[in-house]
């Protein structure tokens, strides 16, 4: 299991965004909270989840007075398509709170990353991506590298997600009694061939390069079909 310990203010929004979108409400509901999340930052979080399969644990002060289900609803309203599986306990520092959660985990944790603008992150600072006024593309690359333990696994994660999604699509079609044309089977073969090629070229060292390549190849394949 891979985990993202998610701060929200300063990660899923910036000071400028909050200033422009500040709303006064004595009884804020889920939509009110969701409106404080910047769509561009949420898109990057979704990209991180898609590339790594990681689950989210909320470490933000937004967790105070809210259940895991409440937090899932808020993030979902802001466009999050991943899963919130927990929230950290309270302690003296953010790093200690995350460490307590890790120590009490009942399932093996393969890797974790902390997305946070806080600075008091000991003893988990080795897995900390400090976000300066909002999650950025450079932060995304660093987070994927931490969760995937190096660039070879980054490549494997990104192209693996694409191949798995295509497999799932065809499985669903067959389960519903549908059929797949020979052209669609050829597209499936091309996707898996691309997957193997990218694994052999796992020294790219750039998430943007890989994602651009994938987008181009899939778009061309679909247009040719």
**Paired tokens of 90:** 């309270």
- pLDDT tens digits, 54-77: 999 999 999 999 999 999 999 999
Q: How much is the pLDDT for 207?
A: 47
Q: How many CA atoms lie within 13 A of 45 on its CB side?
A: 34
The DSSP bridge partners found for residue 111 are: 2
User: Among residues 123, 190, 126, 137, which one has the least CA distance to residue 159?
Assistant: 190
Query: Taking the mean position of all CA atoms in its chain, how far away is CA 51?
Result: 7
Element (H, E) at 79: none
**Average per-residue pLDDT in the chain?**
80
**Regarding beta strands 128-130 and 111-116, do their DSSP bridges make them parallel or antiparallel, or are they unpaired?**
parallel
DSSP 116: E
- Using CA atoms, how far residue 12 sits from 7, 82, 103, in Å, is 8, 14, 26
Separate counts of helices (H) and strands (E) for the chain: 9, 5
Q: How much is the pLDDT for 18?
A: 85
Q: Answer for the pair 151, 205: CB distance below 8 angstroms, yes or no.
A: yes
Distance CA 106, CA 171 (A): 32
User: Among residues 199, 203, 18, 48, which one has the least CA distance to residue 114?
Assistant: 48
Distance CA 75, CA 79 (A): 7
- pLDDT tens digits, 14-58: 988 988 877 656 568 899 999 999 999 999 999 888 888 899 999
Q: How much is the pLDDT for 148?
A: 80
């Amino acid at each position: 299991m891979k985990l993202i310990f998610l701060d929200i203010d300063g990660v899923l929004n910036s000071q400028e965004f909050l200033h422009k979108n500040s709303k006064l409400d004595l009884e804020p509901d889920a939509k009110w909270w969701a409106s404080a999340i910047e769509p561009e930052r949420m898109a990057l979080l979704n990209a991180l989840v898609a590339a790594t399969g990681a689950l989210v644990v909320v470490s933000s002060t937004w967790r105070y007075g809210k259940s895991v289900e409440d937090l899932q609803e808020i993030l979902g309203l802001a466009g999050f398509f991943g899963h919130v599986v927990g929230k950290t306990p309270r302690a003296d520092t953010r790093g200690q709170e995350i460490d307590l959660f890790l120590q009490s985990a009942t399932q093996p944790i393969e890797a974790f990353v902390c997305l946070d603008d806080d600075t008091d992150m000991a003893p988990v600072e080795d897995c900390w991506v400090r976000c300066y006024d909002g999650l950025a593309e450079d932060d995304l690359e660093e987070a994927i590298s931490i969760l995937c333990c190096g660039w070879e696994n980054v490549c494997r994660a990104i192209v693996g997600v694409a191949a798995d999604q295509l497999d799932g699509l065809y499985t669903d079609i067959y389960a519903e009694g549908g059929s797949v044309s020979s052209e669609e089977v050829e597209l499936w073969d091309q996707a898996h061939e691309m997957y193997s090629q990218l694994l052999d070229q796992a020294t790219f060292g750039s998430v943007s390069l890989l994602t651009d390549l994938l987008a181009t190849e899939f778009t061309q394949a679909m247009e040719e079909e």
